[in-house]
């Protein structure tokens, strides 16, 4: 069942409120096609994709379930407030779908950082193995990731995350901040 | 590549399963699994199937295999950091493969090829398809555009050669400067030698030792050589110093002349090239960055010229010359002098690598604090209105603390570094005094007090340039980078090029036609799809549609800010690509949502398109545009200076100036892109009145969100997703009860509510 908004107030016609999905009534199944097959109150949705409202600061909450991939035809079926409220099986499927949305490298160790002619070259150990990549030495190629983390966009726009700069070793921290000082 | 040869084991497997290699239409590697792990995967397209091959536990298989007969079309579904190649089967999208962003261009092309193959039965790969879009052909580095120069592969020697070529017109000045640099260096070596003579031949003359001064000079001096020698050496010292100062002044003046002339030339060439480049180029490059290239980068080159004559050469040649002189004076002592040299080099390297970068953090913290202060103090009303003073104070304290920390790091590092370096520099002097002093006392190696004094004098000139040598490469790199950035712009070929056989069309009738036009800002993501319609001369056409439906893109194509991907845009039956750009733009007048006025007078702004227009025509245009009266109310009338972007005028007034500008231009085709959407109701009425004057007898295309502004249109075009979905008169479209009808209904309901402006108008009527 789809939850009604917490407070019933008079809303103008055409006003669209957020819809939160009751985690106990949602049925999530694998699909032979792209996305998931989801049934809510007997209504079936195919090709459902999941995305996070707060992928950096709160990846366990506020999962948006959506159908349609292209601009303009995308519709939100509703949101799940808390992933852990779903059954184990449903959680697994949603997490798998979220993994499909976000392809991120998490940097575990910085082996070397070099600057040469307008590029920063990184040699790193990530959750996806050893990765060497280059980044244009420009301010907007490294952005904040939460309060203490950084996300690096390489020359292909692949994303490399340092979740918390404070967790780097002093040498790694020095090597990184020598170039990425912002 | 779209047709990348399969690795032998995959090729062998494919042959066994599917027949010959020739059956493969497309084959390209995708680099990640569906779970997002790096692995070797291959997407293969044949006439019969689209498949994804993988190797697992030493066994190759088609992990995904879709019969071509079942496929309706293909697409790329972009996600965050990766994407999926999908095919449509019975209305549902199925995943074929996942790829990282590094492979996205190829899969966009593959999706397009599969879809075209399904539509036409043909699959052709052109050399254009195999071109690495926005990538350097040598190192595969992602570039901002296909015409950008690869900064990694740029030939540094060539850059240096080009820099020297820039100096070519000024070679007499450059050669003169160079000659003076050499003379100056020679002069630098003389004073210590003179002081040596003064010491050994005049002050502490040893009768057992020969004069340092040659015999012929002594004979020339006469009877009291010692007294005379004193005067000669003294005058020589003063003369050398005076000459050195003179040469320094001439070098500085010459190099500044050459430097400023070259940078002026460069700025001119850069601006000319920037004005030739298409709008597409500006979509990809931030205006701020381009401004930096014209202003700061050219200044950096000025610095290079100055440094070449006054810094680099001196730093390279002076230690060399002094080294040779010292060796000739006393080889043994020179070896001792060289002892601190490695420390000098290492410490300077350390400074530039470790100490100097701390300044970046300090400057960054400083600018963040300044930025925060600026935004909070400018928005102080908002801060107070939302009672957020406490939070802003916390934010300020945090940034101030960052500034304090970064400043502390800089000062601690420099405070430690400089005394240590000072000691290293001083070490050379200590060694010379100690070793050289003992040589003098023991009268070894012919060492005299004068030679020792000369040694210490040379020492001061030796370590300084030696330490500068350490960061010459870093200086050179920064100059090269600036030069490279400038050459990048100069080397970028304009994407919209004039057809050499282009027609001249001085005045056109205003007949417009879009013929099967397809276009996308990103080639693989069309914004306009196979669009066709025709506008008769003098017709007024309204275009409506939601944001992103392609309305403004139509205007961009008509003005040829971009070239169509397929089809043609015709004016009076001539393709816009076959028209001279100046002629095309002379026939089109543009009134934009945000009128862009330049710094200058009202008169100059109205006459921007026709600078030769006389004041009467300017005033007529202003009158017709309902601008004349408010201009006349300004103290300086048409001579009123407007600030940047027309500051000093209201939005409606700026818009009426821009309409006057379009009117004076007298174009055959007038384009109004949301011309009245950002002004209040009263201004809108005045602008509408102005527009009704200038649109008469002129082909007009008006884009508007407020449908009421289109009521006078001959026809209205409704666009959606790059296509025309409805076309006809207001009445016809209302009768159709389609999208236009719905839009009118929604807007009528929205505007039926009373507004302050309406109430004011009504009360003033009473």
Please check whether residue A7 lies inside any domain of the structure: no
- How would you classify residue B620: left for phi > 0, otherwise alpha for psi between -120 and 50, otherwise beta? alpha
Torsion angle, alpha carbons of B737, B701, B282, B605, to 10: -140
Chain B interface test: which of A34, A147, A151, A170 (most B C-beta within 10 Å): A34
Q: A95 and A120: one domain?
A: no
pTM: 0.61
Measured between beta carbons, the chain A residues lying within 8 angstroms of B100 are 103, 156, 158
Q: B481 and B541: one domain?
A: no
Q: B408 and B270: one domain?
A: no
Measured between beta carbons, the chain B residues lying within 8 angstroms of A104 are 80-81
Please check whether residue A86 lies inside any domain of the structure: yes
Q: A97 and A108: one domain?
A: no
Q: Which of A54, A86, A101 is the last residue of a domain?
A: A101
Q: Burial level of B175, CB count in 10 A (0-12/13-18/19+)? A: exposed
The number of folded domains in chain B is 4
Q: B82 and B218: one domain?
A: no
Question: What is the span of the domain harbouring residue B429?
Answer: 331-446
Q: A115 and A171: one domain?
A: yes
Q: A77 and A123: one domain?
A: no
Q: A112 and A128: one domain?
A: yes
pLDDT at A164: 92
Q: B476 and B367: one domain?
A: no
Q: A119 and A165: one domain?
A: yes
Please check whether residue B374 lies inside any domain of the structure: yes
Residue of A nearest to B367 (CA): A182
Neighbouring-strand partners of residue B434: none
Can you tell me the distance from the alpha carbon of A2 to that of A19, in angstroms, rounded to the nearest whole number? Answer: 7
Inform me whether the pLDDT recorded for A94 exceeds 80: yes
Q: A38 and A56: one domain?
A: yes
Query: Cβ(B702)–Cβ(B543) under 8 Å?
Result: yes
Please check whether residue A15 lies inside any domain of the structure: no
pLDDT at A182: 79
Please check whether residue B165 lies inside any domain of the structure: yes
Q: Which residues contact B594 (CB under 8 A, 6 or more apart)?
A: B678
Q: Is B101 in contact with A34 (Cβ distance < 8 A)?
A: no
Q: A88 and A114: one domain?
A: no
Please check whether residue B241 lies inside any domain of the structure: yes
Measured between beta carbons, the chain B residues lying within 8 angstroms of A101 are 79-80
Question: What is the span of the domain harbouring residue A142?
Answer: 104-179
The number of folded domains in chain A is 2
Inform me whether the pLDDT recorded for A11 exceeds 60: no
CATH (domain of B12): 2.30.29.30
Q: B339 and B372: one domain?
A: yes
Please check whether residue B537 lies inside any domain of the structure: yes
Please check whether residue B573 lies inside any domain of the structure: yes
Q: A58 and A74: one domain?
A: yes
Q: Nearest CA to CA, how far is A25 from chain B (Å)? A: 25
Torsion angle, alpha carbons of B327, B328, B332, B335, to 10: 0
Percent residues over pLDDT 90 in chain A = 38
Q: Is A103 in contact with B32 (Cβ distance < 8 A)?
A: yes
B728-738: per-residue pLDDT in tens?
888 888 888 88
Q: Which of A46, A79, A101 is the last residue of a domain?
A: A101
The beta-carbon neighbor of A34 closest among B94, B360, B364 is B94
ipTM reported for the complex, 2 dp: 0.86
Please check whether residue A87 lies inside any domain of the structure: yes
Measured between beta carbons, the chain A residues lying within 8 angstroms of B35 are 96, 99
Q: What angle do CA B343, B346, B350 make, to 5 degrees?
A: 135
Neighbouring-strand partners of residue A133: A122
Among candidate residues A109, A116, A119, the one with its CA nearest the CA of residue A153: A119
Please check whether residue B52 lies inside any domain of the structure: yes
Q: B726 and B582: one domain?
A: yes
Q: B241 and B352: one domain?
A: no
Half-sphere exposure of A107 (CA within 13 A, CB side): 31
Q: Which of A101, A121, A141 is the last residue of a domain?
A: A101
Q: Nearest CA to CA, how far is B424 from chain A (Å)? A: 26
Please check whether residue B430 lies inside any domain of the structure: yes
Can you give the three-state secondary structure of B161-183, one letter per residue? HHHHHHCHHHHHHHHHHHHHHHH
Can you tell me the distance from the alpha carbon of A134 to that of A126, in angstroms, rounded to the nearest whole number? Answer: 15
Q: A115 and A95: one domain?
A: no
Please check whether residue A4 lies inside any domain of the structure: no
Among candidate residues A49, A167, A62, A144, the one with its CA nearest the CA of residue A102: A49
Measured between beta carbons, the chain B residues lying within 8 angstroms of A73 are none
Q: B170 and B190: one domain?
A: yes
Q: Nearest CA to CA, how far is A160 from chain B (Å)? A: 9
Measured between beta carbons, the chain B residues lying within 8 angstroms of A46 are 92
Q: B416 and B404: one domain?
A: yes
Q: Is B357 in contact with A179 (Cβ distance < 8 A)?
A: yes
Q: B265 and B343: one domain?
A: no
Q: B325 and B335: one domain?
A: no
A116-159: per-residue pLDDT in tens?
766 889 999 999 999 999 888 877 788 888 888 999 988 888 89
Q: B188 and B285: one domain?
A: yes
Q: A111 and A173: one domain?
A: yes
Q: A95 and A32: one domain?
A: yes
Please check whether residue A129 lies inside any domain of the structure: yes
Please check whether residue A20 lies inside any domain of the structure: no
A44-56: per-residue pLDDT in tens?
888 898 988 888 7
Q: Which of B435, B461, B496 is the last residue of a domain?
A: B496
Please check whether residue A116 lies inside any domain of the structure: yes
Please check whether residue B100 lies inside any domain of the structure: yes
Mean pLDDT, contiguous 10-residue spans, chain B (766 residues): 86 81 83 90 91 89 91 88 91 91 86 86 78 68 58 68 80 86 89 86 72 70 70 88 92 86 88 84 72 79 76 81 87 84 81 80 85 84 84 91 91 86 82 88 83 86 75 68 78 75 79 88 73 89 84 88 87 88 84 81 88 88 85 86 75 86 86 75 72 79 80 85 86 87 78 49 44
């Amino acid at each position: 069942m789809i939850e009604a908004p917490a407070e019933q107030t008079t809303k103008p016609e055409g006003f669209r409120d957020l819809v939160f999905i009751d985690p106990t009534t949602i049925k999530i199944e694998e699909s032979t096609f792209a996305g998931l097959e989801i049934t809510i109150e007997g209504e079936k949705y195919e090709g459902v994709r999941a995305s996070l409202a707060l992928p950096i600061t709160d990846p366990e909450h506020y999962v948006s379930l959506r159908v349609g991939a292209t601009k303009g035809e995308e519709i939100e079926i509703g949101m799940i407030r808390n992933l852990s409220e779903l059954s184990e099986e449903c959680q697994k499927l949603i997490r798998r779908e979220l993994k499909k949305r976000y392809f991120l490298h998490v940097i575990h160790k910085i082996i070397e950082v070099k600057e040469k002619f307008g590029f920063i070259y990184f040699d790193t150990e990530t959750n996806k193995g050893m990765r060497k990549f280059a980044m244009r030495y420009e301010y907007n190629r490294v952005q904040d990731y939460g309060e203490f983390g950084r996300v690096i966009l390489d020359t292909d726009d692949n994303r490399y995350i340092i979740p918390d700069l404070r967790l780097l070793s002093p040498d790694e921290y020095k090597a990184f901040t020598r170039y990425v000082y912002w | 590549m779209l047709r990348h040869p399969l690795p032998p084991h995959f090729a062998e497997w494919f042959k066994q399963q599917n027949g010959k290699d020739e059956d493969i239409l497309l084959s390209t590697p995708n680099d990640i699994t569906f779970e997002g792990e790096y692995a070797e995967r291959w997407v293969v397209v044949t006439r019969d199937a689209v498949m994804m091959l993988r190797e697992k536990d030493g066994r190759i298989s088609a992990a995904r295999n879709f019969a071509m007969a079942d496929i309706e079309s293909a697409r790329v579904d972009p996600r965050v950091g990766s994407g999926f190649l999908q095919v449509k089967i019975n209305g549902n999208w199925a995943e074929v493969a996942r790829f990282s962003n590094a492979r996205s261009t190829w899969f966009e092309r593959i999706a397009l090829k599969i879809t075209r193959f399904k539509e036409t039965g043909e699959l052709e790969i052109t050399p254009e398809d195999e071109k690495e879009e926005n990538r350097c052909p040598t190192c595969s580095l992602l570039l901002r555009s296909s015409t950008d120069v690869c900064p990694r592969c740029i030939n540094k020697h060539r850059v240096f050669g080009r820099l020297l070529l820039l100096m070519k017109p000024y070679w007499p000045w450059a050669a003169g400067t160079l000659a003076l640099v050499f003379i100056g260096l020679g002069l630098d070596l003389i004073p210590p030698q003179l002081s040596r003579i003064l010491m050994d031949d005049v002050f502490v003359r040893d009768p057992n030792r020969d004069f340092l001064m040659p015999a012929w000079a002594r004979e020339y001096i006469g009877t009291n050589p010692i007294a005379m020698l004193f005067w000669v050496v003294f005058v020589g010292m003063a003369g050398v110093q005076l000459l050195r100062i003179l040469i320094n002044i001439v070098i500085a003046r010459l190099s500044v002349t050459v430097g400023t002339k070259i940078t002026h030339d460069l700025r001119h060439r850069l601006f000319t090239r920037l004005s030739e480049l298409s709008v597409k180029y500006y979509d990809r490059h931030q205006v701020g960055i381009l401004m930096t290239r014209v202003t700061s980068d050219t200044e950096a080159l000025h610095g290079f010229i100055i440094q070449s004559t006054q810094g680099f050469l001196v730093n390279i040649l002076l230690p060399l010359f002094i080294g040779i002189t010292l060796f000739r004076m006393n080889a043994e002592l020179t070896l001792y002098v060289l002892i601190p040299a490695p420390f000098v080099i290492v410490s300077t390297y350390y400074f530039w690598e470790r100490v100097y970068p701390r300044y970046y953090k300090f400057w960054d913290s400083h600018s963040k604090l300044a930025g925060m202060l600026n935004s909070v103090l400018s928005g102080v009303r908002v801060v107070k209105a939302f009672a957020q003073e406490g939070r802003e104070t916390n934010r300020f304290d945090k940034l101030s603390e960052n500034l304090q920390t970064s400043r502390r790091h800089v000062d601690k590092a420099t405070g430690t570094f400089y005394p240590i370096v000072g000691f290293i520099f001083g070490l050379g002097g200590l060694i010379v005094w100690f070793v050289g002093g003992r040589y003098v006392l023991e009268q070894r190696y012919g060492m005299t007090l004068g030679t020792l004094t000369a040694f210490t004098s040379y020492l001061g000139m030796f370590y300084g340039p030696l330490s500068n040598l350490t960061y010459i490469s870093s200086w050179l790199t920064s100059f090269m980078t600036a030069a490279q950035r400038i050459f990048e712009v100069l080397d970028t070929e304009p994407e919209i090029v004039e057809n050499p056989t282009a027609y001249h069309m001085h005045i056109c009738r205003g007949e417009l036609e879009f013929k099967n036009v397809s276009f996308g800002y990103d080639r693989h993501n069309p914004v306009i799809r196979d669009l066709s319609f025709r506008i008769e001369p003098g017709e007024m056409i309204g275009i409506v549609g939601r944001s992103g439906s392609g309305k403004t893109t139509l205007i961009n194509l008509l003005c040829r800010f971009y070239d169509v991907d397929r089809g043609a845009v015709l004016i009076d039956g001539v393709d816009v690509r076959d028209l001279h750009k100046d002629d095309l733009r002379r026939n089109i007048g543009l009134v934009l949502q945000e009128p862009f006025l330049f710094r200058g007078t009202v008169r100059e702004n109205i006459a921007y398109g026709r600078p030769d227009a006389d004041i009467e025509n300017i005033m007529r245009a202003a009158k017709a545009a309902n601008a004349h009266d408010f201009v006349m109310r300004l103290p300086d009338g048409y001579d009123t200076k407007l600030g940047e972007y027309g500051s000093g005028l209201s939005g409606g007034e700026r818009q009426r100036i821009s309409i006057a500008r379009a009117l004076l231009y007298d174009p055959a085709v007038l384009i109004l892109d949301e011309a009245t959407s950002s002004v209040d109701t009263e201004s809108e009425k005045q602008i509408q009145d102005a527009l009704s004057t200038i649109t008469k007898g002129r082909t007009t295309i008006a884009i508007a969100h407020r449908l009421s502004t289109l009521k006078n249109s001959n026809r209205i075009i409704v666009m959606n997703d790059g296509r025309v979905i409805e076309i006809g008169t207001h009445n016809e479209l209302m009768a159709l009860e389609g999208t236009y009808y719905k839009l009118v209904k929604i807007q009528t309901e929205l505007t039926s509510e009373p507004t302050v402006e309406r109430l004011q108008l009504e009360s003033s009527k009473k």
